[in-house]
Structure 1
């Protein structure tokens, strides 16, 4: 089992570079391989999710201020759209 996992792990993490820093600052860490791409994709998805949620919130606040959600009928119409 372990022998089958080693090539997969090697594809995910091809190289790890630990760099020295001056003073008492933490060392730098760079990871190369497919795992770096996966982590970068996750960061992009997080950013897109936050942006989408902010746009939804802004849209809701605009509709609320414009009176588009003032009655139950208007709220139902909006939800049906």
Structure 2
């Protein structure tokens, strides 16, 4: 359960922080600058609508895994990040 929670929080952090992390180094954003841009609304949106984190959801080897993977892939691409999928 702890590993799953840490994974979800890491993914949410990447989604929320992604656009700002891609800015040039000259912007010199501090951690606090980035953290202050995270809202409860954005965080909740990712948990409720993107990552399939509801009770009963299964991101194992099933359809919800593929949907969550597609959402993550798409979101990273929207941040301007180069993304690719690897078979497992």
Q: Shorter-chain TM-score: which interval? A: under 0.3
Larger RCO (alpha carbons 8 Å, 6+ apart): 2
Higher radius of gyration, 1 or 2: 1
| TM norm structure 2 | 0.25
| TM norm structure 1 | 0.27
Greater share of strand: 1
